[in-house]
Amino acid sequence: MDASIISALSALAGATIGGLTSVVGAWWTQQKQVTAQELAQDKLRRQELYKEFIEDASKTYGDALQHEKTDVSALVGIYTRISRMRVLYSLKVVESAEQVARAIVDAYLAPNVSFPELRDMMEKGQLDPLRVFAEACRAELRGTSFPLSSG
């Protein structure tokens, strides 16, 4: 073989390898960016659902402490959110959300709570049925890289 042909083939092979490396590198970078965006969007969806649940459950729990008439539509909304969580999120989050719902139902079944009783409940740490739920959410949000159905 002529040295000029070998030289030309070497240059062509080098250009091809360099081009492929560039294309593969760009593709890999793009895939990493898409994955990061998907994780960020998933985290935002989780945060929004958690926020909605916390707001609704807090209002309903407050209502349950002061009213004997059950707000069934609010309870349905809470269970709807729990069902959404059950499809997408960890068992720990779902179980803690179900505990919140049970606390709300129990509060509706109990007699109304007076203001001094509220203070006693607060001092004993009994006024925050959402604490375990919030901690489970925080733990899940910190570990969003694990599979969604894991417990």
Kindly report the pTM of this predicted structure.
0.70
Amino acid at 1: M
- Strand, helix or coil at 124? coil
Domain parsing of the chain, residue ranges:
43-142
pLDDT band at 118 (very low <50, low <70, confident <90, very high): confident
Report the C-alpha gap between 70 and 63 in whole angstroms. Answer: 9
Structure tokens at 3: 């040295």
- Alpha-carbon span 49 to 55, nearest angstrom: 10
Integer Cα distance of 63 and 66 in angstroms = 5
* Most confidently modeled range among 6-10, 38-42, 90-94, 124-128: 90-94
Rounded distance, CA 151 to CA 16, Å?
A: 47
Q: Kindly give, in sequence order, each residue whose CB lies less than 8 Å from that of residue 19, ignoring residues fewer than 6 positions away.
A: none
Give which of 87, 106, 95, 101 is closest to 57, Cα–Cα: 101
Among residues of the chain, what percentage have pLDDT more than 70?
93
- CA pair distance 4, 40, nearest whole angstrom: 54
> How confident is the model over 33-87, as pLDDT tens digits?
888 888 888 888 888 999 999 999 999 998 998 887 788 889 999 999 999 999 8
What single letter denotes the amino acid at residue 60? Answer: T
Q: Among 79, 47, 87, which residue's Cα sits nearest to residue 60?
A: 79
